[in-house]
C-alpha cells in the first residue's frame, strides 16, 4: 500500500516537502515504515536517532500495524514550551 | 482549559480561569523566549505544531496532572507561529486548595509538555536558524540533526 | 522587589518586574483567601503585620532564594489589612533562565515566608473569628491558643 | 529596668493591649523576659508554647541580653501568605 506520510519542522525542511508517499507491504508495521523512509530519505535522521511516528494523531509503537488511510506523521524531537 | 493559538498569550486571562474561592494557591508558569543561545543572539522564534495531536496531548497532560495531584483547575495555553524575544510562548496555570500540589503539578506539566507535545521551536539568528532539539540539551547548531528522547 | 501594602495586589504588575529577555521561565505563586475553614464559611480575612520586621524578613527570604538558586529576579508582595474572599494576599514571582530553579525557589520562598515573616491572618466568620496559627495546622477554633513552630 | 513590650495579633487581643510594660533586672535575657511575661499574663500562651521574642525587629534567642531602649516584641505563631 501507498501511505501519505506528513512531515513537520526539521523533517519537513530536510525532505523539502510537507508530505512524502511511502510504499509498504500490506500488514507493514511502523518499524517497516521507518525502515522504508530511511531508504528513501537517508539524510532525514542519522542512524542512531529513532524516527518517532504518530498514527492518527497519537504516538505509535514500532510493532503497530498500518492500515490504508491511516494518518501517518513523522515527529522530530519536540521542543515546545 | 487548553489553547493552541497564534495570538499573544494573556497570562492574566489564562490564570483567571483557575481562580476559585475554595482555592488557596495559584501557581503559574510562563515560558518566555530567550534572546540568546550559547552566546548567539536570537532574533525571533518560530513555533510549529502538529495541531490536532498537540491539542490532544496538551489535554492528556492536563488530565494526567488533575488525576495525579487531585486537582480541578489546570489551564494550558501554547502559542505557535512567530514569537518575538521576551514574549510568552507557554502558560500553565494551576489552582489548588493547597500550594504543594499546585507547585508539583505545574512543574510536572511543563516537563511533560516539553516531552510529549508535538510542537517545534526554531531559533532565528542573523546568519541562519536552528530547530531546537530539546530544551537544555547540549546541541551544536553545526550538527543540527534530530535527537531521540 | 519587596512590598507590604494595604492595596489590592496586581499580579501582572508584580510579575512584570521579573521579566528579562535573558530569562526563559517565570514562575508565579498567588496566595488567595479561601472561603472556608473545616466547612465553616469564612466571610473575610484580616492580615496584621509587624511592618518593619516583616519587610526585613521578606527581603531576607528574597536574598536567600537568590543566593541558593543563583537567581536575579525575585519579587514578593504581601497584602495586609482586610482581604476579601478569593482575593490575593501574597504574590511571589521568580524570573530565571531555566524553569527548575524558578519552581524550586518560588515554592521554597512561600514556605519560608509562612515560617518566618511576622504576619498574622484572622479568619472572620458569621459567629466569631480565629487567628490562624499556621497553615495546614490542625487547629480547633475552640482551643484558639498560640502554637510554637 | 522597665521594657515596653509590643504585642501583635493573638497576643495583643489576649492581653487587651498593644504594649505592656515589663520590669526585669539589668542584664536580663530574653528568657528572663518571657518568664516575667508569663507571670504577668498567665493566659497569654499555654506553658507548652514557646513565646517567641523579636528584639529590634529580629528574632532573638533566649540567651540574648536585653538593653534599655530595645524594641521588644512578642511574636505569636505567624500565619502570613
Mean pLDDT of C130-144: 53
Closest residue in chain D to residue C56, using alpha carbons only: D57
Residue D29 pLDDT level (bands cut at 50, 70, 90)? very high
Rounded CA-CA distance B132/B147 in Å is: 10
Contacts of A40 (CB under 8 A, 6+ apart): A20, A22
Q: What is the DSSP letter of C64?
A: H
Are C50 and D54 in contact, with CB atoms under 8 Å apart? yes
* φ, ψ (nearest 5 deg) of residue C37: -135, 115
Query: Do D79 and C89 make contact, defined as CB atoms within 8 angstroms?
Result: no
> How many Å apart are CA B62 and CA B51, to the nearest integer?
16
Mean pLDDT, rounded, of chain C: 90
Q: What is the pLDDT of residue C8?
A: 97
Reply yes or no on whether the pLDDT at D65 is more than 90: yes
Whether pLDDT at B42 is above 90: yes
Please give, rounded to a whole number of angstroms, the shortest distance from the CA of C142 to a CA of chain B.
23
pLDDT of residue C146: 36
The reported pLDDT for the residue numbered B39 is 85
Mean pLDDT on B57-63: 98
Does ipTM top 0.85?
Answer: yes
Distance CA(D30)–CA(C128), nearest Å, equals: 34
What chain D holds in terms of domains, given with CATH numbers, is 2-75 (3.10.20.30)
The mean per-residue pLDDT over the stretch B95-117 comes to 97
| Cβ-based contacts under 8 A for chains C and D | 95
The superfamily (CATH) of domain C2-143 is: Molybdopterin biosynthesis MoaE subunit (3.90.1170.40)
* pLDDT of the residue at C39: 85
Query: Which residues of chain A register pLDDT less than 70?
Result: none
Interface A-B: count of C-beta contacts within 8 A: 95
Phi, psi of C114, deg, nearest 5: -70, -15
B139 pLDDT band (50/70/90 cuts)?
A: very low
pLDDT in tens, B65-92: 999 999 999 999 999 999 999 999 999 9
**What's the pLDDT at C38?**
82
> Inter-chain contact C28–B25, Cβ cutoff 8 Å?
no
State the greatest distance between any 2 C-alpha atoms of chain D, in Å, as a whole number.
Answer: 38
- Please give the pLDDT value at position C134: 62
pLDDT of residue C145: 35
- From start to end of B11-146, where are the E strands? 25-32, 36-37, 40-49, 73-79, 81-84, 88-96, 119-125, 128-131
For residue D52, what are the β-bridge partners?
D75
C136 has pLDDT over 90: no
pTM of the model: 0.91
Mean predicted confidence (pLDDT) in D25-46: 97
Q: Count how many residues are written for chain B.
A: 149
B with C: touching (≥3 Cβ pairs within 8 Å): yes
Phi and psi, residue B57, nearest 5°:
-70, -35
Amino acid at each position: 500500500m501507498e501511505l501519505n506520510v506528513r512531515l513537520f519542522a526539521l523533517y519537513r525542511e530536510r525532505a523539502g516537502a510537507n508530505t512524502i508517499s511511502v510504499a509498504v507491504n500490506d500488514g507493514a508495521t511502523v518499524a517497516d515504515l521507518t525502515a522504508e523512509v530511511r531508504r528513501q530519505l537517508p539524510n532525514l535522521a542519522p542512524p542512531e536517532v529513532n524516527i518517532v511516528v504518530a498514527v492518527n494523531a497519537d504516538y505509535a509503537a514500532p510493532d503497530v500495524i498500518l492500515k490504508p488511510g491511516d494518518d501517518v506523521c513523522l515527529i522530530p524531537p519536540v521542543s515546545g514550551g | 482549559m487548553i489553547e493552541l493559538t497564534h495570538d499573544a498569550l494573556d497570562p492574566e486571562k489564562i490564570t483567571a480561569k483557575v481562580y476559585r474561592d475554595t482555592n488557596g494557591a495559584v501557581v503559574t508558569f510562563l515560558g518566555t523566549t530567550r534572546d540568546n543561545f550559547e552566546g548567539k543572539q536570537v532574533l525571533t522564534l518560530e513555533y510549529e505544531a502538529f495541531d490536532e495531536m498537540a491539542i490532544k496531548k496538551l489535554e492528556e497532560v492536563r488530565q494526567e496532572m488533575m488525576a495525579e495531584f487531585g486537582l480541578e483547575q489546570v489551564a494550558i495555553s501554547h502559542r505557535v507561529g512567530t514569537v518575538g524575544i521576551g514574549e510568552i510562548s507557554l502558560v500553565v496555570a494551576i489552582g489548588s486548595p493547597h500550594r504543594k500540589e499546585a507547585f508539583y503539578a505545574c512543574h510536572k506539566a511543563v516537563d511533560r509538555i516539553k516531552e510529549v507535545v508535538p510542537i517545534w521551536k526554531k531559533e532565528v539568528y542573523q546568519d541562519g536558524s536552528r530547530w531546537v532539539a530539546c530544551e537544555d540539551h547540549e546541541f551544536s547548531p553545526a550538527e543540527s540533526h534530530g535527537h531521540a528522547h
